[in-house]
Amino acid sequence: MKTNKKMKYFCGGLAVVTSLLLWSPLQGNAFSQSGGKGGVGVGNMAGESAAAGISGKVAETMDSGGYTYVLLDKSGVKTWVAIPQTKVVLGSEITCLSGAVMGNFNSTTLNRTFERIVFSPGLASASSAAAQTKTAAPSSAEAIKVSKSEAPTAQTIGEIFEKKDALANKPVAVQAKVVKLSSGIMGKNWLHLQDGTGNQAAGTNDLVVTTDALPKVGEVITVKGNLSLDRDFGGGYFYNVIIEGAEIAR
């Protein structure tokens, strides 16, 4: 009987460790027993996992050893989470994917021990309801009038949708107003831009852009980047037209 119990616990523990090591090279390094020689640190399996996403306000954050360590505060309950290095904004509301819980984890790169920390694969997808989102009002195409950029590759939003096939994978410049901002989703900031052109009913008046910059809602900006078509980010977020990794000028 005792032998059977030992085998049961051994197999269960082996399965958990194996799944963690398969998660990513970064997390595999987290369980390295090298004392910092090529690993992130050492700790004890807490025998649990965060079944649902971990959300909250970013109270503290730091980058080290290929990880971003984030202290999330939700209604006074604080949880440390480690994700592959990602840009997060102090004070923003984010959601991290579920992950394994480590107890007494020692980060050799930070020279710090965490009593309890969740190792997450990263930020939740664009469908996360906890993402920091701001919207301007009103946001209808009729209420917004922004002049076309003078850049050589300038297009209005209406023109981009109209000529999207010809403009695919080519550089474009758009001058428009930020009507919606979602920050810290998959390590990017997501902007919805409108300039008063296009058709609101058809959805061709609103252009989605991803960027590292963080403009303000209501601000008129000029974005430059290559136009992409038919991008599927999962979770029902599919974009016929999008500019990714855009540069922003004010």
Q: Tell me what pLDDT residue 19 has.
A: 35
**245 in the same domain as 138:** yes
CA 74/CA 216 separation, integer angstroms: 25
**137 in the same domain as 50:** no
| CATH code, domain with 199 | 2.40.50.140
Query: Which residue stretches of the chain have pLDDT < 50?
Result: 1-3, 5-40, 46-47, 51, 126-131, 137-142
Q: Tell me what pLDDT residue 8 has.
A: 44
| CATH code, domain with 57 | 2.40.50
Q: Considering the domain boundaries, does residue 125 fall inside one?
A: no
Q: Look at the block and give the residue holding tokens 């290559």.
A: 226
pLDDT digits (tens, 9 = 90+) for 187-228: 788 899 999 999 988 889 999 999 999 999 999 999 999 999
Q: Tell me what pLDDT residue 12 has.
A: 41
Q: Look at the block and give the residue holding tokens 């971990």.
A: 54
**138 in the same domain as 37:** no
In our burial notation (b when 16+ CB lie closer than 10 A, e otherwise), range 47-83 reads: eebbeebbbbbbeebeebbebbbbbbeeeeeebbbbb
Show Cβ contacts of residue 226 under 8 Å, excluding neighbours closer than 6 positions.
Answer: 169, 170, 171, 172, 243, 244
**208 in the same domain as 159:** yes
Q: Tell me what pLDDT residue 182 has.
A: 82
**228 in the same domain as 168:** yes
Judge if pTM exceeds 0.95.
no
Q: Look at the block and give the residue holding tokens 């701001």.
A: 134
**163 in the same domain as 110:** no
CA 174/CA 48 separation, integer angstroms: 48
Q: Considering the domain boundaries, does residue 13 fall inside one?
A: no
Q: Considering the domain boundaries, does residue 168 fall inside one?
A: yes
Q: Tell me what pLDDT residue 136 has.
A: 56
- CB-based contact 215:221 (threshold 8 Å): yes
| Helix, strand, coil percentages in the chain from 3-state DSSP, rounded to 5 | 15, 45, 40
pLDDT digits (tens, 9 = 90+) for 65-94: 788 999 999 999 999 999 888 888 888 888
Domain stop point among 90, 119, 148: 119
Could you tell me the residue range of the domain that residue 98 belongs to?
Answer: 28-119
**146 in the same domain as 60:** no
